[in-house]
């Protein structure tokens, strides 16, 4: 080995360039800012290791000493001879900070042996025939051509034993244990041919460089790259899934892609100030880089290649092909226009690591485009099928509430951070990502995934049926009801995938149906709001329920007897206490459910209920609208105050106002009595709102001379209207002597009532009974039903089968959910042709019966005709 004097120098940042002892003076090692640099000026072995926590070169300590744990990067350069560069002795337990190594051989036949880390083994022009063994880690072999016309081939022919492949030029490189082979042709008209390389041995990256190059991939998955300054090339990806990458310059690039002028045997031509003819390649990735670029693939037929177009910084124009394209915006890019062209195209917007604020809508969009994406920049988009937004790092706000349904499918991803994501009016996919996110699907049938963190997944009035998957963490599904009279059922359901946690569902059956299926959610929060609500539930596995009936006090008018919110919990005859617990299941916490003994008794407390169903046909003149609404007015017992609730959904445009008008009968317009405000959206809930009324106004309300009117931007005179009509109460006394058939000897008794809504299309029934007969013990109910039509002494079919408590009881109280009825059924009810029936173990054909007489009175009034 050549002996040279000891050489030392002062490195940057006052760190010394430490030298090995003079006996090995042909090699040197220095350490500065976490980088260990080793070199040779002869044919020396360069073998690195660690002993007692310090770096060793050729079994001798590097002066300093240098702690193995302080080394982040290693750069080893061989001399002009045949060097052995060996890092195989490095252990991750010693070099705990090591990320990357660079092994550069120099002239001579060099042997590279990599480390556990990511190794880069480099061959430069003038080097000899080498062998490269990357060992563990994600390793790369890099071959750089000369300024001449290089001819390089890659394959398995002639490879040395123990190696995977051979690189051939005027030299050879045998390679093993390496994940990527990077070949840079350099200047000249080069041929880079990897066609002899089978799939699966190594990933290949081929860059022709300056000159007119011929680039041919392997049978595997290759990347063929064109960079600024390169010439006109031909690219043949070979077999496998191959990618051609074209990187623009810092100027205003004008690129086009099509089939015009393509060379024989190739599929397509990429055109700039150069050309690239391309064949057997699956993806064409174009990066405009800086400048105001135009990338136009409109001349490319479908099916030839998948496109990924990125404009880069500057105001870029991206036009896709007739196939399925991806148009990408990255942080630092400017305001662009994206035209996906034909096919199923995807626009991808990637946020920064900061707190991004993104919105989507139609406001301000350029002519000829469908929608605008807004951040500190804008993207106008047309002819694209999917918009994918990735917030990435930071606490991001992604809001698509301004986007109508049907323009584009949305995939909104929060990424890391506490994100707020709101969907569009269409069917969206929302993903929270890491940390604690709030996800609102908005309108449409949405799939909402909380993923990591403690997430809140919200359903609001007007939304469609959604899927909620909380993911990891403690997650909440929150259902905010519309404020009208609603019926909810909560129960477990079968999961679509058998290997996920137990699934459950909350389903609204009235007034219009929707459901939210949820999995991996730890809490269900139902906010029922105003109206006469009914909730039927049971304990769920792993899910705590927070159920709010909507408030026992209607704004100061005495006790809230009407509307009455009811709660039934499977397995509990009296669930009034909270929480309700079932061993091994989630607790049920509830509030603001009235549990009135009968609806008739509640009405007799003196408060008068009135309801309304609104639609466009009741407007004067009628309006064609698919919107629906429902409202209620409760008049205090002393007739001096009212409480109003109104809920609507599906307006054709934003709500601008809502009023109570009167006095006027159906079909006649009248002035405004009370203003109810507006939601500013196509759906909303107004109230509870309290107003003082005088005696004449109370009389007009009772007479059915008031109506609701909901106004919108498209229909300033009113889009939906509905007359406000008094609810009607029908009452029955139940006794054994009314049972038809064999005589019943029993001391049982009961009372029941049915309230028919002012709109005449739904009922709420209530029933209390006690003292059923048994043999020495209290009897047990086996059926509780409403039947009809039938007069006294006759029998009729079943109308409603009340859900029984577990095992039945001798005494019980039922309050039903709201049931829809037909006009014919309403007429039978008014005519006294309905009756209650209670069956028991002792009298299975019926122990109690009570006819609902045609003696009817209005809710809150003296007994009189309505």
Between CA 612 and CA 623 the distance in angstroms is: 17
Block residue for tokens 């994940």 = 179
How many Cα atoms within 13 Å fall on the side-chain side of residue 550? 30
- Which pair of structure tokens corresponds to residue 664? 């006027």
Are 663 and 669 spatial neighbours (Cβ–Cβ below 8 Å)? no
What pLDDT, on a 0 to 100 scale, did the predictor assign at position 212? 97
Between CA 567 and CA 565 the distance in angstroms is: 7
Question: Which residues in the chain land under pLDDT 70?
Answer: 1-25, 497-500, 530-532, 551-566, 571-576, 594-608, 774-780, 802-818, 854-866
Domain boundaries, the chain: 487-552+562-596, 606-725, 728-858
**Largest Cα–Cα separation, the chain:** 125
What pLDDT, on a 0 to 100 scale, did the predictor assign at position 860? 43
Instruction: Please say whether the structural domain 606-725 has been given the CATH code 2.60.120.
Output: no
What pLDDT, on a 0 to 100 scale, did the predictor assign at position 482? 79
How long a stretch of residues is the chain?
A: 866
Name 367's Cβ contacts closer than 8 Å, sequence gap at least 6.
Answer: none
Between CA 630 and CA 632 the distance in angstroms is: 7
Between CA 555 and CA 591 the distance in angstroms is: 17
Tens digits of per-residue pLDDT, 266-316? 999 999 999 999 999 999 999 999 999 999 999 999 999 999 999 999 999
How many Cα atoms within 13 Å fall on the side-chain side of residue 539? 16
Model confidence pTM above 0.85: no
């Amino acid at each position: 080995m050549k002996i040279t004097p000891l050489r030392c120098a002062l490195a940057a940042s006052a760190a010394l360039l430490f030298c090995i002892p003079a006996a090995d003076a042909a090699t040197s090692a220095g350490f500065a800012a976490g980088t260990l640099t080793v070199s040779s000026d002869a044919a020396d072995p360069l073998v690195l290791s660690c002993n007692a926590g310090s770096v060793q070169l050729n079994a001798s300590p590097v002066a300093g000493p240098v702690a193995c744990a302080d080394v982040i990067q290693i750069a080893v350069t061989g001399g002009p001879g045949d060097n052995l560069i060996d890092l195989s002795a490095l252990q991750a337990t010693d070099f705990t900070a090591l990320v990357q190594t660079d092994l550069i051989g120099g002239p001579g036949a060099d042997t590279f042996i990599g480390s556990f880390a990511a190794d880069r083994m480099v061959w430069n022009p003038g080097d000899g025939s080498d062998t490269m063994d990357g060992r563990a880690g994600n390793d790369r072999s890099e071959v750089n051509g000369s300024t001449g016309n290089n001819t390089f081939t890659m394959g398995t022919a002639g490879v040395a034993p123990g190696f995977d492949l051979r690189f051939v030029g005027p030299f050879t490189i045998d390679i093993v244990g390496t994940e990527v082979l990077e070949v840079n042709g350099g200047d000249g008209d080069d041929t880079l041919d990897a066609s002899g390389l089978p799939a699966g041995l190594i990933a290949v990256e081929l860059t022709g460089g300056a000159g007119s190059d011929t680039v041919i991939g392997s049978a595997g998955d290759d990347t063929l790259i064109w960079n600024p300054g390169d010439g006109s090339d031909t690219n043949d990806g070979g077999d496998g899934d191959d990618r051609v990458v074209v990187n623009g310059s810092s100027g205003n690039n004008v690129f086009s892609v099509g089939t015009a002028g393509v060379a024989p045997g190739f599929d397509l031509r990429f055109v700039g100030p150069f050309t690239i003819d391309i064949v057997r390649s699956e993806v064409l990735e174009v990066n405009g880089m800086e400048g105001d670029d135009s990338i136009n693939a409109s001349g490319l037929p479908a099916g030839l290649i998948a496109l990924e177009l990125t404009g880069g910084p500057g105001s870029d124009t991206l036009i896709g092909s007739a196939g399925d394209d991806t148009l990408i915006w990255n942080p630092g890019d400017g305001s662009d226009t994206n035209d996906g062209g034909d096919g199923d195209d995807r626009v991808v917007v990637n946020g920064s690591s900061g707190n991004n604020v993104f919105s989507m809508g139609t406001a301000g969009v350029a002519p000829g485009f469908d929608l605008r994406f807004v951040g500190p920049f804008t993207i106008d988009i047309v002819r694209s099928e999917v918009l994918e937004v990735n917030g990435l790092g930071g606490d991001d706000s992604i809001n698509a509430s301004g986007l109508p349904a049907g323009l584009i499918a949305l995939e909104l991803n929060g990424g890391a951070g506490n994100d707020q994501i709101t969907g569009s009016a269409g069917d969206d996919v929302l993903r929270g990502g890491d940390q604690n996110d709030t996800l609102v699907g908005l309108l449409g049938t949405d799939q909402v995934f909380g993923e990591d963190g403690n997430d809140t997944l919200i359903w609001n009035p007007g939304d469609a049926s959604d899927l909620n998957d909380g993911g990891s963490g403690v997650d909440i599904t929150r259902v905010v009801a519309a404020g009208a009279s609603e019926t909810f059922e909560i129960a477990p359901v079968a999961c679509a995938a058998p290997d996920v946690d137990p699934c459950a569902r909350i389903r609204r059956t009235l007034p219009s149906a929707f459901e939210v299926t949820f999995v991996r959610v730890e809490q269900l929060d139902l906010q029922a709001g105003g109206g006469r609500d009914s909730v039927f539930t049971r304990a769920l596995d792993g899910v705590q329920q927070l159920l709010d009936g909507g408030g026992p006090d209607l704004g100061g008018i005495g006790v809230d007897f009407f509307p009455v919110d009811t709660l039934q919990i499977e397995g509990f005859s009296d669930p009034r206490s909270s929480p309700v617990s079932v061993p091994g299941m989630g607790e049920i916490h509830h509030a603001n459910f009235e549990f009135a003994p009968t609806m008739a008794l509640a009405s007799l407390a003196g408060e008068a209920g009135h309801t309304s169903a609104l639609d466009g046909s009741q407007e004067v003149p009628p309006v064609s609208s698919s919107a629906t609404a429902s409202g209620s007015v409760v008049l205090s017992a002393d007739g001096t105050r009212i409480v109003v609730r109104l809920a609507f959904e599906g307006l054709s445009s934003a709500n601008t106002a809502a009023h109570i008008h009167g006095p006027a009968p159906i079909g006649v317009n009248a002035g405004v009595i009370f203003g109810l405000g507006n939601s500013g959206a196509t759906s909303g809930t107004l109230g509870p709102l309290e107003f003082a009324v005088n005696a004449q106004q109370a009389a007009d309300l009772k007479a059915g001379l008031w109506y609701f009117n909901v106004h919108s931007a498209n229909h300033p005179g009113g889009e939906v209207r509905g007359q406000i009509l008094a609810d009607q109460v029908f009452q029955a006394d139940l006794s054994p002597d009314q049972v038809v058939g064999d005589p019943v000897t029993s001391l049982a008794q009961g009372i029941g009532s049915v309230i028919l809504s002012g709109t005449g299309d739904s009922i709420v029934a209530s029933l209390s009974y006690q003292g059923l007969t048994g043999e020495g013990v209290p009897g047990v109910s086996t059926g509780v039903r409403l039947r009809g039509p039938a007069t006294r002494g006759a029998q009729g079919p079943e109308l409603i089968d009340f859900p029984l408590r577990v095992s039945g009881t001798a005494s019980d109280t039922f309050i039903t959910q709201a049931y829809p009825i037909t006009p014919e059924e309403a007429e039978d009810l008014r005519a006294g042709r309905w009756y209650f029936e209670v069956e028991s173990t002792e009298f299975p054909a019926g122990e109690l019966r009570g006819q609902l007489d045609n003696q009817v009175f209005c809710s809150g009034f003296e007994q009189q005709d309505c």
